[in-house]
Amino acid sequence: MRRFRSVRTATRLAAGAALAYLAMALLGPLLMGDAGLHIDLARDLAPPGRAGAGPLGNAENGIDVLTALVWGARTSLATAGAATLITVVVGLLVGALAASAGRRVDALVLRLLDVLLAFPGILLAVYLAAVLPPSLLTVVAALSATGWAGTARVVRARVLEVRAHEHVAAARALGASPAAIFTRHVLPFVWAPLLVQGSFSLSSAILAEASLAFLGLGLPPGSPSWGGLLDEGVAYLFVAPHLAIAPGICITAAVLAFHVLGDGLRDALDVRAGRPTEL
C-alpha cells in the first residue's frame, strides 16, 4: 500500500511538472516577450543577484537566462513533440502491418526492427544532423529516424495479444471485415500502451534534442535552445557557472517528469496485464 501511494504521488508530481513545462513552452514567450533576448553588454555574464541582472543571471552579450530558457522550452517542445508524433504514427502503422499481414511480412518487419534497435539511434541522428542543412525539419528527421522501431514492437505485440481475445473472434465469426475488426475491436485497446510509449519517447526526444544542440548540430544559430545554452555555458563554467546549471536543471527536470509520468501511466492503465485495457 505504501509503495502504491508513493508511486501515485510521484506520478502526480511528474504530471504537474510536465504540465508546468508545457505551460512554460506555450504561454511563457507570450507573457515574457523577447526583450530579454536583446544584446545588453552592460549585463554580460552577470550572475544572479547582481544589481540589474536577471533572476537567473545573464548569458553572453547580456542575454537574460530566464527568457532564453522560456523560449528554449518552446523550441524543445516543438522539436521533441513533432519527433514523438512521427515516431508514434510510424510505429503504429508498422506494428499493425507486421501483426496483420501474415507470417512472412511479420518476419521481415521483425528483422528490420532488430537491425534498427541494434543500431545506436543517437549515432544516426548525429550523422543526419551533420549532413543535412540545420533546421527544425532536420532535427525532427534525425530524432525520429530510428525511434519508431521500439513503438512498432510494442504495437505489434499488443495487436497480436488483442486479436486472440474472444470479442475479436466473435466479430470475425459474424463476418466483420479485417479493416472493421482492426479499427473497432483492436485499435481501441492499443491506445493505452501507445500513450505510455509516447511519454517515454517524448522524454528521450527532449534529451536527444538537447544532446544534438550541445554538440552544435541542433537548430540554426540564434534559435534559443536548452542544449545550446548548455553548450555555451560549458565555455564559461568556471567564470559564470549559472549558464550551465540553469539549462542543465531544466533538461533533467523535463526528462525525469515525462519518464516518471510514463511509468505512472503504465501502472494506472495496467498495460502489462493480460487483459486488454481501453482508455
| pLDDT tens-digit map of 60-107 | 888 899 999 999 898 888 899 999 999 999 999 999 999 888 889 999
pLDDT band at 270 (very low <50, low <70, confident <90, very high): low
The pTM score is: 0.85
Q: Where exactly are the structural domains of the chain?
A: 2-22+66-225+255-268
Alpha-helical segments (H) within 101-165:
103-118, 121-131, 136-144, 148-163
With 60 as the cut, is the pLDDT of residue 279 above it? no
Whole-angstrom distance, CA of residue 63 vs CA of residue 78: 22
All three cell numbers of 101, joined, read 499481414
Q: Cα-flanking dihedrals φ and ψ of residue 15, to 5°? A: -65, -40
Is the distance from CB of 255 to CB of 200 less than 8 angstroms?
A: no
User: What's the CA gap between 117 and 67, in Å, rounded?
Assistant: 38
The CATH code belonging to domain 2-22+66-225+255-268 is 1.10.3720.10
* pLDDT at res. 252: 93
Say whether pLDDT at 143 is over 60. yes
Q: In a 3-state reduction of DSSP, which class is residue 39?
A: coil
Report the largest interatomic distance among the alpha carbons of the chain, rounded to a whole angstrom.
Answer: 77
- The per-residue DSSP string of 150-206 comes to HHHHHHHHHHHHHHTSHHHHHHHHTT--HHHIIIIIIGGGTHHHHHHHHHHHHHHHH
Q: Cell for 156?
A: 505489434
What φ, ψ does residue 133 adopt, rounded to 5°? -60, 140
Could you count the other beta carbons within 10 Å of the beta carbon of residue 226? 26
Residue 274 banded pLDDT, cuts 50, 70, 90: very low
Q: What is the pLDDT of residues 26-72, one digit of tens each?
A: 888 888 888 888 888 888 888 888 888 888 988 888 889 999 999 98
Contact criterion met (CB below 8 Å) for 261 and 15: yes
The pLDDT value given to residue 2: 54
Q: Residues near 191 by Cβ (< 8 Å), separated by ≥ 6? A: 278, 279
pLDDT digits (tens, 9 = 90+) for 146-193: 889 999 999 999 999 888 888 888 888 888 888 888 888 888 888 888
Residue 16 has pLDDT above 50, yes or no: yes
Other Cβ atoms within 10 Å of 224 Cβ, number: 21
Give 275: exposed, middle or buried? Use CB within 10 Å, 0-12, 13-18, 19+.
exposed
- The pLDDT tens digits of the residues spanning 224-253 come to 888 888 888 888 888 889 999 999 999 999
Pick the more confident residue, 272 or 101: 101
Residue 191: predicted pLDDT: 87
**pLDDT at 39 (0 to 100):** 86
